[in-house]
Amino acid sequence: MRRFLEHQGYWVEPGHHKHLKLRHERFGEVLLPLRPGDNLSFVAVKQIAAAMELTPEQLTAAVR
């Protein structure tokens, strides 16, 4: 998911956070778990989709 978001124009905000914070010039900020092996919860997918102005289904299809 991180690679997908970075490809969409997101960048990692520097600093020490409990989660990886990504920002975008146009879209809202997104939080990802620090450990890349962690699965994203449906709540996280909904939050990312809302930040990108997509539905969760559209986001899932775009990532695949």
Per-residue pLDDT tens digits of the chain, which is 64 residues long: 999 999 999 999 988 778 899 999 999 999 988 876 667 889 989 999 999 999 999 999 999 8
**What's the number of domains the chain is made of?**
1
Q: What per-residue confidence (pLDDT) applies to 17?
A: 73
11 strand-pairing partners:
23
DSSP string, 20-58: EEEE-SSSPPEEEESSTTSPPPHHHHHHHHHHTT--HHH
Q: Identify the CATH number of the domain in which residue 23 sits.
A: 3.30.920
- The domain in which residue 22 lies consists of 2-63
Q: What per-residue confidence (pLDDT) applies to 38?
A: 65
* Cβ atoms of residues 8 and 32 within 8 Å: no
